[in-house]
Structure 1
């Protein structure tokens, strides 16, 4: 069965890997991103750039475009977000609001707006990107971890809210992801221990599958380099 899949933050490294996974499975993929255009093309994908996912009108317009083009929405993967490393003493208090907006409010806004279409699906799936760093925050990780902890609580609360519907809600909690940006920021790290974007996409693909139909409200760590 061909499914209609939305990947927010789909123009980034992880979003690209997730979109590639579903496209390879034969699904209809839409990538929605704040960036104006994708860094890499994806054949057959519906790309919608320049969308502020905290703007309800803009998010709704993007969702309507996807639903019209792909005949509804079956899967929503909330990858959109950001990262800041900052100590509280040396940083800006505005960073806390920025992380809250980028990581939690983007997911909450588009998920709320997508629920009517997802509930029409025979097997609706929502998969959020949490963070292993939000389970126990280290120095400089406070603002980021607090926002991702909010994503975890959103996942749990919404899973209970949607119990009895066709929609499941889960989150993956990666450790450090092997991306060019992370390599540049941490050049002396052991990259082999970092999680590959494609490996995270595999876990997301499982949570979106029929095999995971009885899994909802899970916060699934993804921590091994491979």
Structure 2
């Protein structure tokens, strides 16, 4: 799988697993970081504020100067927050939209433009189980933002002006990470989905064998 793959959230718990897997598959990885001093021998990192339109545009201009095309994008960056209709406010909703939807929108827009000019590509968004299945009343701002991410993927897929640009959504349940184990110590961790399992499924979506898939929403729930 010798492909150029762009990744956001590459230094997080899930992102690190995705980077490990895709690098082993022979991909050239390109990613963003908030730190100007971050470095990795597995991924070519570029400093970027994913919530800022100009910063994202400038970041992609730098990436384009070093790479001739983009085969895929894995958009993992985001954030989580609690809150129901009774105890959330405007700031809570705007924060979740900024962290989850706006980062996905700004980066995917640049990816789509580039892919559309160079023969197409695949974009993988990150949804959430509350957004996909409902029942997220306790995480209302987060679920609203993730619902918009899922809608964004569908709108990209329905755009007749795009040439072979495909959007998919992975929808994990609870991911088995150290922070989640610390936050929910009494849970059955075996019911959760591992970062490694998610990474393998992302690898499949990016592969040529998955090229016939359309409008894919991949639910990675395990037993959670």
- TM-score (norm. length: structure 1): 0.90
Aligned residue for 1:223? 221
Aligned residue for 2:191? 193
Q: Distance in 2 between matches of 1:108 and 1:19?
A: 22
Match of 1:142 among 140, 143, 151: 140
RMSD: 1.9
Aligned residue for 1:70? 67
**Using a 3 Å threshold, how does the CA distance of structure 1 residues 34 and 162 change in structure 2: closer, same or farther?**
farther
Aligned residue for 1:118? 115
Q: Deviation at 1:2? A: 2.1
Q: Deviation at 1:120? A: 3.6
* Secondary structure in structure 1 of the residue aligned to 2:158: helix
1:19 equivalent in alignment to 2:19:
yes
- TM-score (norm. length: structure 2): 0.91
Q: Distance in 2 between matches of 1:64 and 1:158?
A: 22
Question: What per-residue deviation string (whole Å, max 9, x for no partner) do you get for residues 73-107 of structure 1?
Answer: 11111100000122333344311111111111111
Q: Distance in 1 between matches of 2:112 and 2:187?
A: 40
Aligned residue for 2:3? 3
Q: Distance in 2 between matches of 1:110 and 1:44?
A: 21
Aligned residue for 2:94? 97
Q: Distance in 2 between matches of 1:66 and 1:2?
A: 18
Q: Is the 8 A contact 2:119 2:163 kept in 1?
A: no
Q: Deviation at 1:199? A: 0.7
* Map 1:160-175 → 2, pairs under 5 A: 160-161=158-159, 165-175=163-173
Q: Is the 8 A contact 1:15 1:79 kept in 2?
A: yes
Q: Distance in 2 between matches of 1:189 and 1:156?
A: 34
- Equivalenced residues, count: 222
Aligned residue for 2:80? 83
1:106 equivalent in alignment to 2:95:
no
Q: Is the 8 A contact 1:19 1:31 kept in 2?
A: no
Q: Distance in 1 between matches of 2:155 and 2:184?
A: 35
